[in-house]
Structure 1
Amino acid sequence: MSVDKLDMQSPDLVYQNIEKLAESFPNCVTESDTGKAIDFDLLRQELSHAVVEGNKERYRLEWPGKKEAIVTANLPTTKTLRPLLKESVDFDNTENIYIEGDNLEVLKLLQESYLGKIKMIYIDPPYNTGKDFVYKDNFAKDTQEELFESGQKDEYNQRLIVNPETSGRYHSNWLNMMYPRLKLARNLLSANGIVVISIDEKEVHNLRKLCDEIYGEKNFAGEIIWKNSSKNDQDYISTQHEYLVCYVKDKSINKGNWIEKKEGLDEIYKAFDSFKKKHGEDWEAIHQEALAWYKQFSESNPIFSSKHYSWLDEKGVYFPDNISGPNHGQYVYDVIHPITKEVCKAPSSGWRYPESTLKQRIKEKLVHFGKDHSTVPNNKTYLKNTEFQSLTSIRYKDGRVASKNLAKLFGENLFTNPKDPDLLCELFKSFELKENDIILDFFSGSGTTAEAVMKLNFETDSICRFILVQLPEDLNETLRTASGGAKATITRSIQYLKKFNKPTTIAELGKQRIKLCSANYTKKNKPTIGFRVYRLDDSNMQNVHYKPQEYAQANLDLFSDNVKSDRTADDLLAQVMLAWGLPLSLKIERLEITGKEVFRVAQNSLYACFDKGLDETFAKEIAKDKPLRVVFRDNGFKDDTAKVNVKQLLKQLSPETEMKVI
């Protein structure tokens, strides 16, 4: 049994005074570098009848650390990405990417290779619930101090801290994490790109202001409310929804002509077909059963109105619709009931159509008549003609479905509150993702985005690709702050990974999820859905820190034999591709030219050889393919004379080829 310890120090009177002031003036409480503080300018104003002069007011979002967050986004990185061939699936052919590492540094590395090439960014960042982790981005401190502060001392050098609600910088910590990542992500969006961010009620207000600043308030596309639970476990108002905040890169280019197919249509069609088979041509019996069924269906599916009476005829399901004119007395004439042969009751404002038009519609069976002439006829609005609607702001999806599906996939429950791939897939369809569009998720978690992309491609025959980034967060560290059901779930996840001798990280679970669910979306006679795995690591170069933007320019010939001993040719190729601004998804082939291993990237976009003993014969063979770029190791030539001769031969035989060395 634990015993509370005495607080062996005097009371913090300043803190007590701040709390007392907060009771009377909550708007004067703010966050500072040292934690909770009082905004004395606002307090002075609250205690004065006249305007108190102070700092000039402006409309903007401010928080402690904002300037540092801007600097953090702009700082270059010396890191690189190393390919993990054994962890990948169909590495040589796939164009999907999975990256393990700190997403801030990964985003910096992708700046040149994917500048303006990402069609959609979807992220599900930490919600700042007070129990989850946020990143502590402080690159100015040495490694040991950084590790000490973060409490993470594992092989991945993680920078995660728990951000409790009691923290004096509760909102500021979260904003400092999000700002540089969203700022860098914007550079990657295509001109018609879209960014969608999942969030809950704790930070949605700050997220909107943050995105208004980064993406522009005018490019706000709307919020989607995801009604995903029916919990009743909160005081005051029980929150049963989350938000998906949507922005576009540029509204003048992306016009937002987004439509969606109404949910539940297949279920309606199936039910009404069964009524027709059951009752044959007995339309009265069909209508009665359909009416009762639809009333019950609409109660559990709020997007369908129970006010509409549904009917069925040989053309399909339809709803009787108002046939009166918009203006009083617009068209006045008699309409004869087809059975009683009497004049039908007319709408008080007259008919919507001219008499000739209405007669034609009656002939085409597009008008619904009642039992007799005492009722006003109606238009027939067929469901098949109204299947699509503008993208709506409310989604009704039980959040437990995604958890159950993942539990079925893994054979046990390993994730808490995963996002629903069906929901994401529906959004992807509305956003008209297709062809070679790339979807980026740099808080990938369980890998929901990857499954949603696979599902999209499977259902629409599109060929979209994904890039996922996930910190290899140690589940044992997460377990330290977990409680209740989440603790049990994380424990099962650790045990699951140990069975396969895998590192106990979220990234490993994400990769395993992609491998398992890919079988569900692989069509016959189609290749297996693969993905290339990369891991963030220090530069491949020994004792030298080169910035990627310098590495891609005219400085490659400054490198000597500075490659670290544990790095492979594949490692060097990845860093070269990033430095030269080439996408990591490009096709890579391995050739042998005069006995040397050569990487050919995207046909003749890049030839790379990191073997030694290169000479003039080798250069002549390379020149035959007229590559746009070639790169070699600085000490890879047979001798200094061969180095000069190779460069000259390439200039003569393939003048368009750009040669560099590392």
Structure 2
Amino acid sequence: MTSPDLAAANIDKIATMFPGVTTEAIDAEGNQARVVDFDLLRQELSGRVVEGPQERYQLDWPGKRVAAFSANAPIAKTLRPMREESVDFDSSKNLFIEGDNLDALKLLQESYLGKIRVIYIDPPYNTGSDRFVYPDSYATDTGTYLAQSGQVNDEGVRLKTSVESDGRYHSDWLSMMYPRLKLARNLLTDDGLLFVSIDSHEVHNLRKICDEIFGAGSHKNTIAVRRGIKNVQAQFEDLSALSQGHEYILLYARSSEVRLPKLSLVHEDRKPGKWDTYWRGTDRPTMRYELLGVTPESGQWRWERGRSLEAVANYERFLAQVEGGLSLDDYYLDHLTATNVKLNFVRRSDDGTVQYYVPPSEGKLLSDNWMDITLSGNETEEFDTEKSTALLQRIVRWACGPDEIVLDFFAGSATTGHAVMNVNAADGGSRRYVLVQLGEKPNEKSAAAKAGAGTIASVSRNRLRKAGSAIREGAGSGGDLCDVGFRALKVDTTNMTDVLRTPDETDQTSLSGLEDSVKPGRTGEDLLFQVLLDWGLDVGVSIAVEQVEGHEVFVVEDGALVACFESSVTTELVRILATREPLRAVFRDSGFASDDARINAQQIFKELSPSTDVKAI
């Protein structure tokens, strides 16, 4: 008997917190062992890119370390409201964010940490014909890539006769995906799920980086989904490859302990119970025994003897209790409802066949084969390859509870938002969506460009408006209860000016410009959303704008937070707001006439609402 292996236990604890830092190595005795990659662990805990030349089992590519570092690198940005692009801005809890999704994911880290139940993304497939426009600072030029991948020497002379362009395509795509997936994992609830659509070009690499970020044990399924096939190959006698008739959805959980809910395809009408043959062709002598006067000479009975005899007794009990009244289906369902126990029944039919009862079914249990559903939607005029709402509705209905949040940070045509609204309208749920889409111009050859679309983000918002209107109209008098709006925001630079200057850079004439740290042109609503992010508050909270003593005051979540960012804050205004006893109050620092006025405001809150957290920005 040996004492517990504390080192192994500590490695397990580290793997729970940082799944990507454990790997495999050969120990001193020549055995394969699970170990901690301290270079990666140091990188998780440090603000620097670390170097580590030791070889190990892992997926690697030029630029990986810098890509991993970029996930932790802070940014001086914020989310600014776009009220004119929104629908039901003040009350809707849905979000549409325009901007680089890497920035958006960083900005949402505090407000939505551990709050997202489902993430679905449909990233660029990296086929060579598609394109991904994410201007990350770590994107490498050709010269840097050749040096990092060992294709040129110190003098820049190429060591290979041809440029490995395919390798760079993979490296750029992996560097784009890696930090986004790392940040996305933080946002998932403990039982949260990630769904990623992908095709054969990058599915192998995507699986490897997801294994590294989430842990290999968190991979639940690789789902196959049917895609439309173009029959252009029919004109040729031979082919370079068969047409691809399906794509994939990788399904990962926040941790390996997560259990998935059962997934069924609901029948339009419930299928009644039926009797089926109890004998099976599988040849197991131990499962051949006398039952109802019959002993098989080959094959086997479906269940072991004890369960079979109990099923016979259940059927005899049914016959004794019910005489020409209740059907076996009703008897089974009544017992199931009352006891939550599924009864088995076995009988011998009039022709002497031993049969078992197959209960009524309201749906068909589904596997990772989703070939019953079509991948592409063709539901918009502007997009050629958007996913179908039926596909997203299956995911949302299956994996997301009625009050939970769905995130899609490659929003594209906004199918995810459309699907969330459809499912809510169908079952009365109040699910919320958070969509992120880069404000890029559509490819000039795309249907969106031909339709005159300015940006993909604008097309996405337009689809949400149309879908929301249709759902509200279809709901009739109950349409006002559906949240079919969205709060439009955009990623932008911080609202605060850079006031860090050396004495040599500051003269007497510029001192007055340093009094207010807020950039010109930024509104009170801009400042409010930066406060929400800084405090880690939900960006989807309800907001009301009031006039108090002639000042614009923002009242958030029925008074949980009050804010006034005007250039002049009076003592009377402060006193009125303090009597409301909010949890938090925030003002513009330059709105106070002096430091004494700001200190006096804090004293007023201490007297009238001592539990209020008061801040000035």
Q: TM-score, normalised by structure 1?
A: 0.68
Matching residue within 236, 250, 269 for 2:255? 250
Please state how far the C-alpha of 1:207 moved relative to its aligned partner.
0.5
Please state how far the C-alpha of 1:621 moved relative to its aligned partner.
1.1
On the 8 A contact 2:222/2:249 being kept in 1, the answer is yes
* Alignment partner, residue 259 of structure 1: 262
Q: List alignment gaps of at least 5 residues for structure 1.
A: 1-54, 142-163, 270-315, 336-343, 408-412, 498-503, 547-558
Give the 5 Å matches for 1:68-467.
68-139=66-137, 166-232=165-231, 233=233, 235-252=240-257, 254-256=258-260, 258-262=261-265, 265-266=267-268, 317-324=272-279, 328-333=287-292, 352-353=308-309, 355-360=312-317, 366=328, 373-374=350-351, 376=353, 378-384=355-361, 387=363, 389=365, 391-397=366-372, 399=374, 402-403=377-378, 406-407=379-380, 413-431=381-399, 433-467=400-434
Distance 1:646 1:122, change over 3 A: same
How far apart, CA to CA, are the structure 1 residues paired with 2:194 and 2:184?
Answer: 9
Amino acid at match of 2:250: V
Amino acid at match of 2:96: Y
Amino acid at match of 1:416: D
On the 8 A contact 1:92/1:588 being kept in 2, the answer is yes
Distance 1:333 1:368, change over 3 A: closer
Please state how far the C-alpha of 1:567 moved relative to its aligned partner.
1.5
* Alignment partner, residue 655 of structure 1: 610
Cα-to-partner distance string for 1:457-507 (whole Å, 9 max, x where unaligned)? 1222211100000001112xx22xx4xxxx4x234332xx4xxxxxx1111
Amino acid at match of 1:323: Y
On the 8 A contact 1:114/1:188 being kept in 2, the answer is yes
Secondary structure of 1:635's counterpart equals helix
Distance 1:345 1:646, change over 3 A: closer
Secondary structure of 2:430's counterpart equals coil
2:455 equivalent to 1:505: yes
Distance 1:587 1:519, change over 3 A: same
Matching residue within 520, 524, 539 for 1:584? 539
Matching residue within 475, 490, 514 for 2:448? 490
* Alignment partner, residue 540 of structure 1: 495
How far apart, CA to CA, are the structure 2 residues paired with 1:617 and 1:397?
Answer: 66
How far apart, CA to CA, are the structure 2 residues paired with 1:241 and 1:508?
Answer: 30
Please state how far the C-alpha of 1:346 moved relative to its aligned partner.
11
Please state how far the C-alpha of 1:439 moved relative to its aligned partner.
0.6
Please state how far the C-alpha of 1:165 moved relative to its aligned partner.
9.3
Please state how far the C-alpha of 1:140 moved relative to its aligned partner.
7.7
Distance 1:605 1:545, change over 3 A: farther
How far apart, CA to CA, are the structure 2 residues paired with 1:140 and 1:242?
Answer: 29
On the 8 A contact 1:82/1:534 being kept in 2, the answer is yes
* Alignment partner, residue 600 of structure 1: 555
On the 8 A contact 1:260/1:426 being kept in 2, the answer is no
Q: TM-score, normalised by structure 2?
A: 0.73
Secondary structure of 2:491's counterpart equals strand
Secondary structure of 2:377's counterpart equals helix
Amino acid at match of 1:262: L
Q: List alignment gaps of at least 5 residues for structure 2.
A: 1-52, 140-162, 234-238, 329-344, 502-513
Cα-to-partner distance string for 1:565-611 (whole Å, 9 max, x where unaligned)? 22211111111111111111011111222221111111333211011
Distance 1:348 1:134, change over 3 A: closer
Secondary structure of 1:86's counterpart equals helix
Cα-to-partner distance string for 1:178-212 (whole Å, 9 max, x where unaligned)? 01111111111111111111111111111111011
How far apart, CA to CA, are the structure 2 residues paired with 1:140 and 1:259?
Answer: 42
Distance 1:349 1:222, change over 3 A: closer
Amino acid at match of 2:367: T
Distance 1:347 1:628, change over 3 A: same
Give the 5 Å matches for 1:22-61.
57-61=55-59
* Alignment partner, residue 517 of structure 1: 467
How far apart, CA to CA, are the structure 2 residues paired with 1:472 and 1:213?
Answer: 30
Secondary structure of 2:517's counterpart equals coil
On the 8 A contact 1:135/1:177 being kept in 2, the answer is no
Amino acid at match of 1:248: A
Please state how far the C-alpha of 1:544 moved relative to its aligned partner.
4.5
Cα-to-partner distance string for 1:20-49 (whole Å, 9 max, x where unaligned)? xxxxxxxxxxxxxxxxxxxxxxxxxxxxxx
Distance 1:492 1:368, change over 3 A: farther
Distance 1:544 1:178, change over 3 A: farther
Distance 1:517 1:140, change over 3 A: closer
Question: Aligned-pair RMSD on alpha carbons?
Answer: 3.1
Cα-to-partner distance string for 1:615-650 (whole Å, 9 max, x where unaligned)? 222221111112222111111124443222112222
How far apart, CA to CA, are the structure 2 residues paired with 1:356 and 1:210?
Answer: 54
Distance 1:121 1:345, change over 3 A: closer
Amino acid at match of 1:526: G
Amino acid at match of 1:466: Y
How far apart, CA to CA, are the structure 1 residues paired with 2:316 and 2:298?
Answer: 16
Aligned length, in residue pairs: 489
How far apart, CA to CA, are the structure 2 residues paired with 1:124 and 1:140?
Answer: 22
On the 8 A contact 2:225/2:373 being kept in 1, the answer is no
Please state how far the C-alpha of 1:329 moved relative to its aligned partner.
4.7
Cα-to-partner distance string for 1:112-147 (whole Å, 9 max, x where unaligned)? 111111111110000001122234544389xxxxxx
Distance 1:545 1:573, change over 3 A: farther
How far apart, CA to CA, are the structure 2 residues paired with 1:657 and 1:353?
Answer: 69
Amino acid at match of 1:422: A
On the 8 A contact 1:323/1:378 being kept in 2, the answer is yes
On the 8 A contact 2:375/2:391 being kept in 1, the answer is no
* Alignment partner, residue 24 of structure 1: none
On the 8 A contact 2:373/2:390 being kept in 1, the answer is no
Distance 1:241 1:362, change over 3 A: farther
On the 8 A contact 1:129/1:202 being kept in 2, the answer is yes
Please state how far the C-alpha of 1:435 moved relative to its aligned partner.
3.5
